[in-house]
Structure formats: C-alpha cells, structure tokens
C-alpha cells in the first residue's frame, strides 16, 4: 500500500509539472483574438469573406513553444495533428493527455493485477495509445486525400481547358472538394492570393501532405511554369497514373490476403494461448514471472514476436 501511495504522489506531481510547463510555454491568445477580430471586421466591411480555414486565423500564434521544439527534433507532432484533422489540439495538451492515460492505466493495473513489477510496461502502453490513435487517424485521412486527388486533378485540367488560370482551378477544387483535400487546396490558394508565390505555396502544400502523387502534381506544375507545355494534358496523365496505381494496389491486396490473414493468426496466437493457459492453470503460467529463467523466456518471446511481425510486414508489403 505504501508503494502505491508513493507512485500516486509521484504521478500527480509529474502531471502537475507537465501541466504547468504546458501553460507556461503556451502563448496567450487573448490579444491575438482581439487583433484578428478587428482585422476580420475591416475585411467584412470591404465585402471580403474569410473562410474558417484561412491562414489569417493562425499565423500570429503559430510559433512553436519550447516543448514542441524539443519534440520536433524526433517527431513532428504538430504536422501529424494537422494531417489527422486535429488542428484544435495543441501539442502540449496532447502530451498531457498521453501522460494522463498512462498514469490512469498504471493505477488500475497496480490495484487489480498481482504482478506489480510490470507497471512500467503498462505506463508505456498507456502513453502509446494516443499516438497509435493519431497514427491511424493520419493514415485514414491521407488515404482519403489520395482517393480525392485524381478527380481534383481532372477538375483543374477542365478549368485550364476552359480558359481559367491555375490559381482559379485550385480555388475551384477548394470549393468543390470535401475535407481533407478541399481545405488544403483552399489554404494553398489563400497563400498565393495574399502574395506568396504560387510555386512556394504548392511546395508548402506538398510538405504538409505526405503523398507521392501530390508531389508529382507539384513537380509537374513547377516544371511547366519554367519550361512551358500543356499543363492540362500533364494533369490528365497524372490522374490516369494515380487511378492505375489504385487498381494495381487493389490486385496486390487481393493476392496478399492469405499472407496478411496468416500474419494476424500467427501474431494473435501467442497472446490468446497465454490468456487461455492463465485461465486454465494459473500457477503454471506464473512460473514465467517468478522464475528468472521464465523471465528470460518471456522477454525472448516478446522480442521474437515483434521480429516476426516486422518480417511478415516486409513480406506482404509491395511498393507500387
């Protein structure tokens, strides 16, 4: 019980320090909101409507704080949150949520489980849960962006054939496309509309969105603006290439279905067997935790499990 009280005290203290640091290095937005309100009133007076995705709503308080700068050395958390569609969640708050989940799961584990020595692993798993959720959200949103891109390129190509300019085509995509592609192209249009060169705005778009086909589009536009050529025809070829790649990826998914299912079964078998034996013969399984040789065997099994998952992933992954 003393051990549990000590851990709770330390956890509460660490959470308080993290929260204090997060508030310390998070900029005060009251003055910024006042300036933005005055700015939007003036622009509304001149009949200029600002969309919710406008870059005017973010640059004044867009400077990274100390925590975000430190995390950015290893992982660009802000860009990941933007790609996941969680732009309202600050990096400090996200880290605080991750730490809170880790502490909460650890407390539940210490109260319920008789194996107290594994609480660091439980804490790390709790901290990793928000990052796993963020990873899935980023992958889902980028996949949706990739699916929207061919139709958007066709729309820009048709706008160019109709005599409109490339920025007008980008604005048309921003108005017609849904999230996430529409707001991203809208941000690109607003940047060039406020004086940023179109080449730089497109490059920033490619940097924000990790998509190879988008880089093809940006590269083709940059080359066409330097060397000339029929941009509409180039965009048609790129959209056709993207659709053909989707077709090939679907065929690969069908051909590797058996391998992926085998990988799921092989990876799920050891944990399921462990839980089954723990239910049937508790003392037999607990030898893995009580005996030093059992601890070594358990650690080796976990390491081999991750190694096997990496090998199966490498086998069934075919780049197109």
Give 64's pLDDT tier (boundaries 50, 70, 90).
low
The confidence score (pLDDT) of residue 27 equals: 41
Contacts of 46 (CB under 8 A, 6+ apart): none
- Which pair of tokens denotes residue 219? 């590269």
Phi, psi of 304 (to 5 degrees): -65, -30
By C-alpha distance, which of 80, 126, 75, 78 is closest to 100? 126
- Which pair of tokens denotes residue 2? 């003393």
Report, at the CATH architecture level, how domain 143-253 is classified. Answer: Up-down Bundle (1.20)
Encode 298-315: b = buried (16+ Cβ within 10 Å), e = exposed: eeeeeeeeeeeeeebeee
Q: Model-level pTM? A: 0.69
How deeply is 145 buried, as exposed, middle or buried, from its count of CB atoms within 10 A (0-12, 13-18, 19+)? buried
Q: State the virtual CA torsion across 308, 311, 316, 320 in degrees, nearest 10.
A: 150
Q: What is the DSSP string of 64-77?
A: --HHHHHHHTT--H
The confidence score (pLDDT) of residue 208 equals: 87
Percent of the chain with pLDDT over 90: 30
Give 320's pLDDT tier (boundaries 50, 70, 90).
low
Reduced to 3 states (helix: H, G, I; strand: E, B; else coil), residue 63 is: coil
How many angstroms separate the Cα of 243 from the Cα of each of 136, 154, 176, 248?
Answer: 23, 12, 20, 9
- Which pair of tokens denotes residue 279? 């239910």
By C-alpha distance, which of 196, 197, 214, 213 is closest to 205? 214
In tens, the pLDDT along 162-208 reads: 999 999 999 999 999 998 999 999 999 999 999 899 999 999 999 88
d(CA 37, CA 48): 14
In tens, the pLDDT along 250-278 reads: 888 888 888 888 888 888 998 899 889 88
- Interval 42-58 mean pLDDT: 41
The reply to whether omega before 272 is within 30° of 0 (cis) is: no
Reduced to 3 states (helix: H, G, I; strand: E, B; else coil), residue 177 is: coil
Kindly state the DSSP code that residue 28 receives in the 8-state scheme.
P
The confidence score (pLDDT) of residue 91 equals: 84
Contact present, 105 and 125 (Cβ < 8 Å): yes
- Name residue, tokens 């958007």: 152
Q: Strands, E, within 232-306: which ranges?
A: none
Question: Helix-strand-coil percent breakdown of the chain, rounded to 5?
Answer: 80, 0, 20
The confidence score (pLDDT) of residue 67 equals: 60
The boundaries of every CATH 1.20.81.30 domain in the chain are: 143-253
Q: Is the pLDDT of residue 308 over 90?
A: no
Q: Mind spelling out the 3-state secondary structure of 216-229? A: HHHHHHHHHHHHCC
């Amino acid at each position: 019980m003393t051990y549990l009280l000590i851990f709770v005290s330390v956890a509460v203290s660490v959470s308080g320090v993290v929260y204090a640091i997060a508030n310390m290095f998070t900029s005060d937005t009251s003055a910024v909101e006042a300036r933005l309100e005055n700015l939007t009133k003036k622009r509304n007076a001149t009949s200029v409507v600002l969309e919710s995705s406008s870059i005017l709503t973010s640059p004044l308080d867009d400077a990274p704080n100390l925590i975000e700068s430190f995390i950015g050395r290893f992982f660009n958390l802000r860009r990941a949150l933007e790609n996941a569609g969680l732009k309202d969640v600050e990096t400090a708050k996200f880290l605080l949520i991750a730490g809170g989940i880790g502490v909460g799961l650890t407390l539940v584990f210490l109260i319920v489980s008789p194996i107290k020595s594994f609480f660091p692993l439980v804490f790390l798993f709790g901290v990793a849960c928000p990052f796993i959720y963020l990873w899935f959200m980023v992958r889902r949103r980028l996949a949706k962006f990739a699916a929207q891109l061919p139709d958007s390129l066709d729309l820009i190509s048709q706008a160019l054939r109709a005599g409109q300019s490339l920025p007008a085509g980008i604005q048309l995509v921003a108005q017609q496309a849904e999230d996430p592609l529409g707001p991203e192209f809208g941000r690109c249009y607003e940047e060039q509309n406020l004086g940023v060169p179109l080449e730089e705005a497109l490059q920033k778009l490619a940097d924000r969105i990790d998509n190879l086909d988008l880089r093809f589009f940006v590269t083709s536009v940059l080359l066409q603006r330097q060397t000339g050529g029929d941009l509409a025809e180039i965009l048609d070829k790129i959209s056709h290439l993207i659709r053909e790649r989707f077709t090939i990826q679907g065929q690969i998914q069908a051909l590797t279905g058996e391998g992926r299912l085998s990988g799921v079964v092989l990876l799920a078998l050891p944990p399921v067997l462990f839980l089954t034996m723990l239910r049937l013969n508790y003392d037999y399984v607990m030898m893995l935790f009580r005996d030093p040789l059992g601890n070594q065997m358990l650690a080796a099994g976990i390491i081999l499990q991750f190694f096997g998952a990496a090998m199966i992933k490498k086998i069934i992954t075919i780049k197109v």
